[in-house]
Every structure is written in C-alpha cells, then in structure tokens.
Amino acid sequence: MINREALREYTTGSLWVLPGASALAALLIGFAVSHIDVGPGSVLAPLAFQGTADDARALMIDITSTVVTVIALVLGLTVVALQLSSTQFSPRLLRNFLRDKPNQVVLSTFVATFVYTAAGLYTVGVIGGARTEDFPRLAVSGALLLMFVSLGMVVYYADHLAHSVQVDAIAKRVESSTLRVVHGHLGSSEEPAPIAPEWAVPIPAPVSGYLQTVHPEHLLPVAGRYHLHIRLRVRVGEHIVAGTVLGWMWTPSPDEPAPDPAVLTHPIEHAVRVGFERTQEQDAAFGIRQLVDMACKALSPAVNDPYTAVQAVDHLSVIFCALAVRPLGDDVVQDATGKRVVIVPARRFGDYLATMCGLIRRYGASEPTLTTALLRLLTNCAAVLPDDPERWAALDEQADLIVADATRDTAQPADLRQVKAAADHLKTIIATHRSGHADSTSR
C-alpha cells in the first residue's frame, strides 16, 4: 500500500507521466487507424483526406514542425509561471503547479499530436523507400483533427495560465487540498495517549527525510503477535535523520523480555513512508504552511503587498473553521482487547493555531489591516468552536498576543481603533462562552 501511495503521489506530481502515456496512446491509435481501409463507397469516405500523397506529407510535416514550436512555447510559459509562483508567493507552491491537471492535459495533447503526425510520416506517401499514392487517408484526417484540438488547447492554456497565477486561484487550490486532508487523514484521539515507559526499546529510523504518511493499522498485527505497544516519536510532516529514534516499542511489563527492534524492520517499511520532501497526503500543516508563506512573503519589504497577506488569511479562516469542529489529537489504533496499541503523535488545534498566527503576526504586527484579519479568523473560529476549554484557551491566548504585538509596533494610535474594536468583539464572545460554561457547571 505504501508503494502504491508513493507511486500515485509521484505520478500525479510529475509533468512527464501523462504526456508519456498520451504519446504511447497516439502511437497505438495511429497504428490502428492506418490499417482501416476506406473505399470509395465506405461510410467513412467523406471523413478521409481528399488530397494526394504529397499533399498529405506536406500537411503532416507542417503540423509536426508547428507543434514542436508550440510545445516549446508552452514549456516556456510554464517555467515563467513556476518562477513567478516561487518568487512572488512561495517555493513550496511549485508542486501545486506541477500537479495541475489542466497543464498536464494541454502538454499531453501537444505531445500526442507531434508523435501521431511524426510517426505517420513513415507510412504516408512512401513504401520501402519508393513513392506511392496509396496511403492511410483516415489517419491523415486524424492528424488534422489533432491539429484543431491543439489549436483549441493553445487558447485554453493561455486562459488557464492567466487565471492560475492569480492570488485567489492559488490560495483556493491550497485551501481545497488542505480541506481534503482535514476531513479525512488526521488523528482524532482527544484523550492523552500512553507515553513510552523507561523500559521501552527505541526503533531506529531507516532513512533520513520527512515523514510523509503513516498507517498505524498496518503495525497493529505485529504488535498483537509480539504483545507490544508502539509509539512513534515524530509527527507526519516532521523531519527525521537516519539512525535516530523513529519511535519506541515496549511490553506491558518491564519483567517481560525486551523486544527485538528487528521484528519491526519490514512492518515499518510497509506502514511508514519517509521521503525527501513533505507531501500533503496526511499533512494538513503543510497546506497551512503554504498559505502562511504566501502571507509572510507578501509582507516582506521586497514585495510589500499586505492585501495579498489578508487574502491568504481569509483562506486560512476556512481551514481553521474546519479544524475547529473536528476532533484532533494523536492517531491511536488498538486491538479488540485494548491491550495492543499503536500511537502516531499528531497536532492539536492549539498547535495549528500557534504556528499560523505566530508567523503572520510577527511579520505583520505593524499592519492594522492584517491584524484585523487575524482577529476576524479567530472570531470565525469562535462562532463554530465546540465546548472545549483547551481550544477556547488557545483562541484567547492568540488574541492577546496579536493585540500586544499590534499595540507595540503600530505607530499611530488611530490606526489601532479597528484592531481594538475587533479584539473587544472577540473578547466579548470568549467571555460570554466562559460565563455560560461556568453557569452550566455550577448547575
């Protein structure tokens, strides 16, 4: 399963896989169509190319040379878009452009057109090195069809590229991919998970890299077989060095024989994937990091675009409102008896909130518009936040830090009016919740 996930992640993020497959498909289709005999009385006769063999060769040569030029143009525009995304927003957004399916489909169309027409030159107008008037007319019509499709793709690509480099389009793509992770691949154990005791045996990390995905349910059978508890040390998205502690395993009692780490060598390989880069398969924090990077980059003196930072915060609001209502905690799986447990540590709501607010408020403390946007994000979270004292405390703490930094770094007191108004509104909501919670507790 880990290998299939890694292959899927690689293929969806590679710019050559779909064009390569389309080239192979074009060869197979061209070979099949070239063997279709279209006679004068055939129903396909009106669709077959009506010119001579020389006309067909000249047409296919022109299509081939034109498509090569278009492919070079498309690749050049793609590189420009990647460079703009990297320098203007964040280098971590490059993978989103590579995974953009329309870009892959457009490039695949051009590659398929080139391969189809170039391969057709071997059969159109020549047989065994001699000229002939007998050629697959329907296949030449296919080249004409691909030419018109490619023309439409040029117009479509120009429109798509112009929209895809817009701030909201980039942020919306990150928001959507992050929400998919939030709704499906996060730990949900609110209760504190068991920690490794003194007699726990460390599990060494096999390779260096980022923890990309973990499937604790795949470790549960070996935990049951050897009567073990297993707990990983690092969270998904964090970096680990080969030979350091990936996690621990221990027996229920220190009197039992210490387990051999070798028994987990192969199960770890099948349940834990470590790669050279972070991926967003199970890592919602990576999507949040991309939007935070956009905000921080926009606040840098080289860019100086606070409104882009506000737009990034608005998209972060959607993600954090989804996180606010979701159970968050360690990913814990156990057998039917509850005696064999596998634990993967995970972030809680306060961890996500502190990472996001901390970076943005430190960079944008002197910009009241951005500070107000952060307070608005917290207010939106307060509107949907469940009755969880830990989450409400994290919300209150971040509000205090935001107001304190803004008060310290904003030069004009008049600029702080909107900040204080937003902060007072949020504090009223928090105080009302605490008062209502206290009343229900006293009853």
pLDDT in tens, 250-291: 998 888 888 888 888 899 988 999 999 999 999 999 999 999
The per-residue pLDDT of the chain, averaged, comes to 88
Range of the domain at 240: 171-347
**Tens digit of each residue's pLDDT (9 = 90 or more) over 195-251:** 899 999 999 999 999 999 999 989 999 888 888 899 999 999 999 999 999 999 999
Is residue 285 within 8 A of residue 347, CB to CB? The reply is: yes
Q: Which residue has the tokens 């609110």?
A: 190
Instruction: State yes or no: pLDDT of 127 exceeds 80.
Output: no
Looking at the fold, whether 380 and 284 belong to one and the same domain comes out as: no
Q: Residue 401: what pLDDT?
A: 95
**443 shares a domain with 363:** yes
For residue 420, count other CB atoms closer than 10 A to its CB: 17
Over pLDDT 70: what percentage of the chain?
Answer: 96
pLDDT confidence tier of residue 443, bands split at 50, 70 and 90: low
* Cα Rg of the chain, angstroms: 29
The pLDDT of residue 402 is above 80: yes
The pLDDT score that the predictor gives to residue 122 is 78
Same domain, yes or no: 195 and 124: no
Instruction: Name the pLDDT band for 130 (thresholds 50, 70, 90).
Output: low
Residue with tokens 């310290």: 408
What's the CATH number where 225 sits? 3.90.1170.30
- pLDDT one-digit tens code per residue, 1-16: 557 788 888 888 888 8
pLDDT at position 54 is 83
Q: Nearest Cα to 143, choosing from 51, 234, 74, 206?
A: 51
The reply to whether 340 and 359 lie within a common domain is no
Pair of tokens at residue 189: 């154990």
Q: What is the pTM of this model?
A: 0.88
**Residue 258 and residue 291 share a domain:** yes
Looking at the fold, whether 183 and 142 belong to one and the same domain comes out as: no
Amino acid 255: pLDDT: 87
Last residue of a domain, one of 286, 321, 347: 347
For the stretch 162-199, pLDDT in tens is 888 888 989 999 999 999 999 987 877 777 788 899 99
Q: Is the pLDDT of residue 442 over 70?
A: no
State which of 109, 144, 165 marks the end of a domain: 165
Q: What is the secondary structure of 32-76 as a DSSP string?
A: HHTT----TTSTTGGGS--S-HHHHHHHHHHHHHHHHHHHHHHHH
181 and 161 in a single domain? The answer is no
pLDDT at 132 over 80: no
Based on the fold, state whether residues 7 and 137 are members of the same structural domain: yes
Q: In this structure, are strands 229-232 and 341-344 parallel, antiparallel, or unpaired?
A: parallel
User: Are 28 and 76 found together in one domain?
Assistant: yes
What's the distance, CA 343 to chain centroid?
24
201, containing H or E segment: strand 201-204
| pLDDT surpasses 60 at 28 | yes
What's the rounded mean pLDDT across residues 69-73? 89
Identify whether residues 339 and 352 lie together within a single domain.
no
Residue where a domain stops, chosen among 125, 148, 165: 165
Give residue 162's pLDDT: 85
Q: Which residues contact 307 (CB under 8 A, 6 or more apart)?
A: 298, 369
pLDDT at 78: 81
When divided into structural domains, the chain yields a total of 3
**Token output for 340:** 């064999």
What does DSSP say about strands 239-240 and 130-131: parallel, antiparallel, or unpaired?
A: unpaired
Q: Both 236 and 322 in a single domain?
A: yes
Helical packing angle, 417-442 and 368-384, nearest 10° = 20
Q: Say yes or no to pLDDT of 441 above 60.
A: no
Same domain, 343 and 198: yes
